[in-house]
Amino acid sequence: MSNASDTSPSQTCHSPVTLLRVEAGCTNDKGEIYDQNGVFIDFPRELCSKQRAKIDPTAVAKKYRAKVVGCVVQERRNYSYYHWTYETLPKLIYLSNNKKELGIDKLYFHFGRFGHPYQRQALRKLGFQYWDILDAKRIKSLVAKEIVVIKLNETRLEPSFHLCQTIKSVFIQKKSVKPWRRIYLTRAHVKTGRKLLNEYELRSLLETYGFEIVVADKLNISAQANLFHQSQYIISPHGAALANLAFCEPGTRILELFNLVDRSQDPLYSIYANVAEACGFELIPINPAPMEIEETTNINHRSDFYTDLDAIKTALTDWGL
């Protein structure tokens, strides 16, 4: 990887990322990157917006003139576990694998909330210590000997098989025996909606088929990875917990429960179908119960809902369960 003192992005063959190395670069409080003369660099977001005004590099909050800082900017203002898994984690994996070559001394995080347990667990797994981390919530801007900025080369809405394997390889080093578990991921505890209003009836049904009831976010990230890696059948309302599909084996079968029938206007509803297609899973979407479709008109992607138990029974029967 060449040292791009002219701030031109560089990319290795088949690399999942594009790398930009900015000598004596600096950032502002929006996570935007500037060169040593204070000139804005439209990377990694590529906003296609008007050029930013120059800034004074001597006026930034923190100075790390002897340090090489890896700048991890989340390119979209959504901070769920899904976006962390498919957008931010691949960048961290690349930095971890190339930390010595790049000479990274510090990581500078610039996105929403930093400090979730799954973030800390992933960083430890990748060999980054607490004292390696600079959080943009506390350090609004900085200047460094060199800033290394990473952009993901594919959209997190359509992750490739290669990207999923990259994520999987960090947490699953040894392939398990043939997956055998049957799990249902409940959202009964969450505060962000899409809870099942007939959760009790669904649990009662699934227990007769040998399904475990799982609260995914009560598990650490390694335990979630192993759980999904061992699972042959997965049932879940649409939600961030399904980001763990990256850890599954080909042939895994999934029922994804939706609260809306018409999902064509929101590409986020197709993200797990895209993962399934890339990785060789079978994913069946389950619409809300017919009575809710007829009676409810004022619903949105956060609305609680009744799922279609008959459709679930039919899918399980078709799978030979």
Confidence band, pLDDT 50/70/90 cuts, at residue 8: low
CB 272 within 8 A of CB 239: no
The confidence band for 79, taking pLDDT boundaries of 50, 70 and 90, is low
- Would you call 147 helix, strand, or coil by DSSP? strand
**Residues 3, 81: contact at Cβ < 8 Å?**
no
For the segment 208-227, what is each residue's pLDDT rounded down to a tens digit?
999 999 999 899 999 999 99
pLDDT at 5 over 60: no
Q: Give the pLDDT of residue 314.
A: 97
Sequential DSSP letters for 102-159: HT--EEEEESS----HHHHHHHHHTT--GGGEEETTT---EEEEEEEEEEESS-TTS-
Q: Are strands 253-257 and 282-286 parallel, antiparallel or unpaired?
A: parallel
CB 281 within 8 A of CB 270: no
Give the model's pLDDT for residue 263: 76
Above 60 in pLDDT, residue 60? yes
Question: CB neighbours (10 Å) of residue 21?
Answer: 22
Residue 15 has pLDDT above 80, yes or no: no
- pLDDT, average across residues 88-94: 91
Rounded to whole angstroms, the Cα distance separating 136 from 30 reads: 9
Q: Which of 147, 10, 177, 129 is nearest to 65 (CA)?
A: 147
Q: Is the pLDDT of residue 295 over 90?
A: no
Tell me how far CA of residue 167 lies from CA of 67, 84, 159, 173, 247, in angstroms. Answer: 28, 11, 11, 11, 8
Contact 151, 33 (CB under 8 A): no
What band does 14 get if pLDDT is binned at 50, 70 and 90? low
47, pLDDT greater than 70: no
Q: Report the alpha-carbon angle 175-176-179, nearest 5.
A: 125
83, two tokens: 């976006």
For residue 246, pLDDT over 50 is answered with yes
**Across residues 154-182, what is the average pLDDT?**
88
* Residue linked to tokens 């809902």: 305
Instruction: Please measure the distance between the N-terminal and C-terminal CA atoms of the chain and give it in whole angstroms.
Output: 52
CB 87 within 8 A of CB 74: yes
Rounded Cα gap, residues 25 and 60, in angstroms: 11
User: What length is written for the chain?
Assistant: 321
Q: What is residue 248's predicted lDDT score, i.e. its pLDDT?
A: 96
Tell me what the mean pLDDT of segment 303-313 comes to.
93
Question: Is residue 188's pLDDT more than 80?
Answer: yes
Q: What pLDDT is recorded for position 113?
A: 66
Q: Is residue 67 over pLDDT 70?
A: yes
- Chain segment 267-291, per-residue pLDDT in tens: 778 899 999 999 999 999 999 988 6
Q: Determine phi and psi for 117, rounding to 5 degrees.
A: -55, -40
| Average model confidence (pLDDT) across the chain | 85
Cα 311 to Cα 258: distance, rounded to the nearest angstrom: 12
Q: Catalogue all structural domains in the chain, each as residue range(s) with its CATH number.
A: 17-152 (no CATH), 161-318 (3.40.50)
